[in-house]
Structure formats: structure tokens, C-alpha cells
């Protein structure tokens, strides 16, 4: 994995500082909330505020002025260049957890990833209200400037597992996989957005399992988790990179260590092919079919 130049590492902090200054202006104020997907789907529920858009614009302007050759992918303002093939690319989510932000819950965060040819090599999770910042590479992660590390728990039965919401798992395979995994953990918890990954890097949470994510939702988190001693892949064990996004389908698994990751990955793969209700309905249908065939044969 590429070494991160010192100037780019320092610049990531500058970006987080600038975004945080904008976000704090709007924190717990009556900001207008709109749905970014309203034109595509009247039932969509993807809120966005001026804090999201303005803070991303500030970061993009800084990147374009300092490093005009770098590619950019942002949640609010789209792509400049191709982050999959560029030597350096920035992936930005100015307010990961907009629903938390608009309801006054300080568990949202600014996510900043630096990619080298599509692979995340530097990540920042910044919570500007609580003044908490995780910053990681593949070999080292710090929390507010001090080294941090993941927990040594290796058993699902002793692990806390987080997901932003159970609604993020699509009906069918994803929901069954989540239910199977979470039922084997000590406790399933919800509602932290990117903050849960920071807690994993600091050793407070052992697992995070999510689905339906976009690259700007998880690429910044990968170096933070890896540098703290954790493991983060998709549900098939593949590395999380921008080129791999279509294969990964937005499904991510974060674990405090390799042993726990292996157990969690195995649990996701062992999810039953049918829910209990679907299985019972299927068996009932088979039984009814057999009975009907026997009845018809008896009438001949």
C-alpha cells in the first residue's frame, strides 16, 4: 500500500477543520431539510441540508486550489476525474448521518478518504461537535492525536454489533444474514452512522455490519479500522476499494480483529436460504401438493 505523503496527511486535517467550522454554524439550528432523491422517487428518504452542501463545497474548493490534478468524489457535488484510476483521489461525505444532524444527535461525522489508484490509504472520521477525530492509515490510527486500537474479543457471543438501522438490509438475503449474525452476538445496537466505526477503532465496539452503502459512506473508514488493528471487507471477504464497489454491492463488515471477522463472515454465509415463515409456507405447500396428488390417484 502506498505511503501517504506528509503534506497530504496534514491537508486531510485542514479539510476536516474547514468542514467542521461550516457544520457547527448550522448545528441545532432550524435548517431547511429537503430530499435529494425527490425527483427520482417520491418515497425516497435521503435528506440533505445546507450544512452538507456548503461543507463539501468548502472542501472541494480547497482541494482544487491546492491539488488541482487530484480527483474528487463527493456525496453532494459528484465526481471530478476518475477516482478508480487517478494516482490521488479524495472521497468526501461532509455529513455522514444527516438524520442524526437534523435531529440534534451528535453521532454524525465528516468522512474524508484519500485514495491511491482507487485504494483507500488515508481516512478521517471527524465529529466536529464533540471534537473527536479518528485518523488512520493501514498501519496506524490515532484518536485525537493519540494511538488507538481495537478490542481483543474473538467470540461472537461476547461481541457488540452495530448497524445504522435494520431497515438498511434488503428483504431476503440481506435481512436473513443480518438476523443470523446479530442473533449470535451479545447485543445488536443501532443508530451511530460512521461513529460506530470510530468506536470500533477505539476498542468500544467489536463489530459493524451494514449494507446499501455508497463509496463515500465507507472508504474513509477502512484505513481507520485497519490502522487500529481491525479488519474491514465486504460480505465476501473482498477488500473495500472504489473499483470493487459494484462487486461489494455496498455491503460491509468491520471487525475488531481477524478471528472475529472470520466468525462473523462465516455467520453471514450460513444465513438460512429461507426465513422460518417462508420455509414453513413452502413445506406446507409441498404437503398440500402431495396430499392432492394422492387424492387424485385414489379417485382413478
Residue 61 annotated as lining a ligand binding site: no
- 164: cell is 445504522
pLDDT tens readout for residues 133-151: 999 998 999 999 999 999 9
What does the alpha-carbon distance between residue 81 and residue 96 come to, in Å, rounded to a whole number?
A: 23
Domain assignment present for residue 286? The answer is no
Residue 151 annotated as lining a ligand binding site: no
Q: Indicate if 177 and 139 belong to the same structural domain.
A: no
Q: Are 210 and 165 in contact (CB under 8 A)?
A: no
Q: How many CA atoms lie within 13 A of 95 on its CB side?
A: 31
**Three-state SS letters, 208-246:** EEECCCCHHHHCCHHHHHHHCCCEEEECCCCECCCCCHH
Domain assignment present for residue 289? The answer is no
Residue 69: its pLDDT value, please? Answer: 98
Domain assignment present for residue 232? The answer is yes
Tell me the residue range of the domain where 132 lies.
Answer: 6-143
Output DSSP code: residue 37: T
Domain CATH number, residue 103: 3.30.540.10
Q: Indicate if 128 and 179 belong to the same structural domain.
A: no
Residue 152 annotated as lining a ligand binding site: no
| pLDDT confidence bin for 48, thresholds 50/70/90 | confident
Residue 40: its pLDDT value, please? Answer: 38
**Cα 258-8-88 angle, rounded to 5 deg:** 75
Give me the mean pLDDT over the 191-217 stretch. Answer: 98
Q: Indicate if 57 and 170 belong to the same structural domain.
A: no
- 49: cell is 441540508
Q: Indicate if 162 and 125 belong to the same structural domain.
A: no
Q: Indicate if 129 and 189 belong to the same structural domain.
A: no
- Res 44 pLDDT > 50: no
Domain assignment present for residue 170? The answer is yes
Residue 278: its pLDDT value, please? Answer: 45
- Res 83 pLDDT > 90: yes
- Res 300 pLDDT > 60: no
Domain assignment present for residue 276? The answer is no
Domain assignment present for residue 30? The answer is yes
Taking only Cα atoms into account, the Rg of the chain, rounded to an integer number of angstroms, comes to: 22
Q: Indicate if 127 and 202 belong to the same structural domain.
A: no
* Among the ranges given (35-44, 76-85, 198-207), the one the predictor scored with the smallest mean pLDDT: 35-44
- Res 193 pLDDT > 80: yes
| pLDDT confidence bin for 33, thresholds 50/70/90 | confident
User: What is the number of structural domains in the chain?
Assistant: 2
- Res 39 pLDDT > 50: no
Closest CA to 4 of 148, 139, 194: 139
Q: Indicate if 102 and 222 belong to the same structural domain.
A: no
Domain boundary among 118, 143, 168: 143
Domain CATH number, residue 217: 3.40.190.80
What SS3 state is found at 87? coil
What does the alpha-carbon distance between residue 272 and residue 138 come to, in Å, rounded to a whole number?
A: 35
Amino acid at each position: 500500500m502506498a505511503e501517504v505523503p506528509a503534506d497530504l496527511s496534514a491537508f486531510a486535517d485542514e479539510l476536516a477543520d474547514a468542514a467542521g467550522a461550516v457544520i457547527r454554524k448550522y448545528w441545532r439550528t432550524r435548517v431547511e431539510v429537503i430530499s435529494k432523491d425527490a425527483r427520482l422517487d417520491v418515497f425516497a428518504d435521503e435528506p440533505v441540508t445546507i450544512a452538507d452542501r456548503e461543507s463539501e463545497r468548502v472542501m472541494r474548493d480547497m482541494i482544487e486550489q491546492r491539488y488541482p490534478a487530484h480527483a474528487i468524489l463527493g456525496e453532494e457535488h459528484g465526481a471530478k476525474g476518475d477516482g478508480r484510476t487517478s494516482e490521488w483521489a479524495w472521497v468526501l461525505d461532509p455529513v455522514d448521518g444527516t438524520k442524526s444532524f437534523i435531529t440534534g444527535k451528535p453521532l454524525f461525522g465528516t468522512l474524508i478518504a484519500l485514495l491511491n489508484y482507487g485504494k483507500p490509504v488515508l481516512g478521517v472520521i471527524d465529529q466536529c461537535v464533540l471534537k473527536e477525530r479518528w485518523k488512520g492509515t493501514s498501519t496506524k490510527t490515532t484518536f485525537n492525536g493519540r494511538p488507538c486500537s481495537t478490542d481483543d474479543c474473538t467470540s461472537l457471543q461476547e461481541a457488540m454489533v452495530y448497524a445504522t438501522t435494520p431497515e438498511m438490509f434488503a428483504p431476503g438475503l440481506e435481512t436473513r444474514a443480518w438476523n443470523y449474525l446479530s442473533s449470535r452476538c451479545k447485543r445488536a445496537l443501532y443508530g451511530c452512522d460512521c461513529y460506530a466505526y470510530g468506536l470500533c477503532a477505539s476498542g468500544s465496539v467489536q463489530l459493524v455490519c451494514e449494507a446499501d452503502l455508497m463509496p463515500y459512506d465507507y472508504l474513509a473508514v477502512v484505513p481507520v479500522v485497519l490502522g487500529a488493528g481491525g479488519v474491514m471487507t465486504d460480505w465476501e471477504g473482498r477488500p473495500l476499494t472504489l473499483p470493487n464497489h459494484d462487486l461489494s454491492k455496498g455491503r460491509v463488515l468491520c471487525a475488531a480483529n481477524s478471528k472475529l471477522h472470520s466468525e462473523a463472515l462465516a455467520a453471514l454465509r450460513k444465513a438460512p436460504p429461507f426465513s422460518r415463515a417462508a420455509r414453513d409456507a413452502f413445506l406446507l405447500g409441498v404437503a398440500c401438493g402431495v396430499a392432492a396428488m394422492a387424492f387424485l390417484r385414489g379417485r382413478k
